[in-house]
Amino acid sequence: MHPLLKMILQRIALGLFTLFAISLVVFLAVELLPGDLAEQILGQSATPETVAAFRAELGLNMPAHVRYLDWLVGIVQGDFGRSLANNREIAELISVRLGNTLFLACYAAAIAVPLSISLGLLAALLRGGIFDRVINIVTLSSVSFPEYFVAYILLLFLSVRMSMFPSIADFGSEASLLEMMYRTFLPALTLVLVVTAHMMRMTRTAIVNLLAQPYIEMARLKGASPARIIVRHALPNALAPIINVVALNLAYLITGVVIVEVVFVYPGLGQLMVDSVASRDIPVVQATCLVFAGVYILLNLVADILSIATNPRLLHGR
Amino acid sequence: MKIGVLKDAPKTAILGLVIILIYAVLGIFAGQIAPHGETEIVGMEFEQWGGEFLLGTDNLGRDMLSRLIYGARNSVGIALATTALAFSIGSVLGLLAATLGGWVDQFLSRFVDMLIAIPALLFALLLLTIFGTGIVNMIGVIAVLEMTRVFRLTRAVAMNVVVMDYVQAARLRGEGLWWQIRAEILPNIAAPLVAEFGLRFCFVFLAVSALSFLGLGIQPPTADWGSMVRANAALITFGDITPLLPAAAIAVLTISINFVVDWVLHCASGLKD
């Protein structure tokens, strides 16, 4: 088998195993409850009979490993069970909201990734200069801001003071793409500002480290133009770290989205999760947690595979 | 010696130290400095700035300035306690893993790997659903999650020291485990750990304020910056910047700490410009 293919298959197996481990953690965490789910929900005042009936309804009479397998098989078939709060199908609750959250994350990523990579490259080329220093201070500060601080500042200036964008990012079911992009511009911009700083810093570091390598010195000495050095010599080797940074930050987007969705009242998965935590709707929290973790692992997996596949040393055999 | 070090420090680091000092004084003497009580209702809701209430009043008619000052005690204090807890667990486990090696190391490392595979905020939300929201639960949950990062760093830096000849010598002459850790290893890994404490504090502080903002952390009526932003957020739609003040207080503190940590790391790595 080609070594590249073997490596990729290994990574996929590892990703599946991690997902399995997480499903186990998410399931077992509930077992830590003092008493069990039925007692927790019905409270102290419930009679033993009601607790027993409810327990039977939730299937809590069966041993934990049977319930775990049931739960897992259900999820693989797209059945997440029912919400405790409103008895609706969780799969149905999640599917629409996951779409919304992914839309927002992709929207932010489409702006943030090209922006931060080009700014990072620029900072690396002009390092030590005034541009580099300004970028350094700006990024260090924006890493230290709570997400909702950025969100509310944008809200205050762009929405309230200048009324350029709506402050509530809720769109109906039949909004056009352009309308959706306009309505979700502020949450997307918040996410862009939050992740760009980190991505840019890491891109800059990756390139600066590479530029110190002997083979870059060699290229410079033989008279290659700066643009050629960057594009032909440095970039192929810098791709792997840059891809990893991008994936790490996209994964961060997935969790950062929780706060931003709450600020802008965006009907996404994060908002659903926070509401469910507050009302202790455990099955919904488990399901959203698993879906988020799945997306997170998938992103990391894609990054892993891409960085292996673009590594020049692995592409050309010995 | 100490003064000499400070004289060479960059301006950003000095600014950071001064700001941290101001926060500490405000937090410790909050009761004396604040013009009104923490939960005392002193006026109408959402009063304007100026006059009796320098920064106006909040959504229940409590003095905003006083609550901001008390917030320095509550928010920072809770974040500090959480960081200290995360640090004691993480560094002790990390040192044990590095010194003992073998199956202890394997077990602890794999356990931490598993915790790190799940995004921290998601895991915190899951655990808070199970154990219920509240200050003690939040401190425990965040401490356990942040412990994993401290563990990894401590283990990594301690590993480099454990293989040194002087540690081997101490082991051969029969010193106990605790003595090896305290007298031989710890002094040599103190510098990166101190810098890490600053960075971890920033992460913990932001995590605590995020959870409080979501209404799942520090609960009212305790004055806390994260939940103060949420409680007064309605004012933003009227173009008032008051709700941004607590968020700014958080941002200024984390930036200052970052400045100082940057400088400490710079000194510790022995780099000169």
What are B28-51's pLDDT values in tens digits?
A: 888 788 778 777 777 777 777 777
Asked whether A169 and A107 are in contact (CB, 8 A), the reply is no
Judge if ipTM > 0.85. Answer: no
Distance to chain B for A307, nearest Cα, Å: 19
Count of Cβ atoms closer than 10 Å to residue A2 Cβ = 8
- Chain A residues whose CB is inside 8 A of the B248 CB are 149
Backbone angles phi, psi at A311, to 5 degrees: -75, 115
CB B145, CB B203: distance < 8 Å: no
Given a cut of 50, the residues of chain A with pLDDT beneath it are: 318
pLDDT at B82 over 90: yes
Hey, are the CB atoms on B125 and A289 less than 8 Å from each other?
Answer: yes
Q: Which residues of A292-302 are buried (b: 16+ CB within 10 A; e: fewer)?
A: bbebbbebbbe
Looking at the partner chain, which of A26, A33, A141 has a beta carbon nearest the beta carbon of B126? A26
What does the pLDDT look like over A30-62, one tens digit per residue? 777 666 667 766 776 777 787 787 777 777 777
Mean pLDDT of B151-170: 88
Of the two residues A140 and B91, the one the predictor is more confident about is B91
Q: Do B126 and A29 touch (CB under 8 A)?
A: yes
Q: Taking CB atoms and an 8 Å cutoff, what residues of chain B touch A138? A: none
Split at pLDDT 50, 70, 90, the class of B1 is very low
Inter-residue contact A52 to A8 (CB < 8 Å): no
CATH superfamily label, A97-315: MetI-like (1.10.3720.10)
> In the prediction, which pLDDT does B92 show?
92
Determine whether the interchain pair A25/B214 forms a contact, defined as Cβ–Cβ distance below 8 Å. no
Residue B238: list chain A partners with CB under 8 A.
160
The per-residue pLDDT for B88 is: 92
The confidence score (pLDDT) of residue B272 equals 42
B74-269 fold: MetI-like fold (1.10.3720)
Domain boundaries, chain A: 3-76, 97-315
Dihedral of alpha carbons A143, A147, A153, A154, sign: positive
Contact A274 B214 (CB under 8 A): yes
Residue whose C-alpha is closest to residue A271's, from A282, A258, A256:
A258
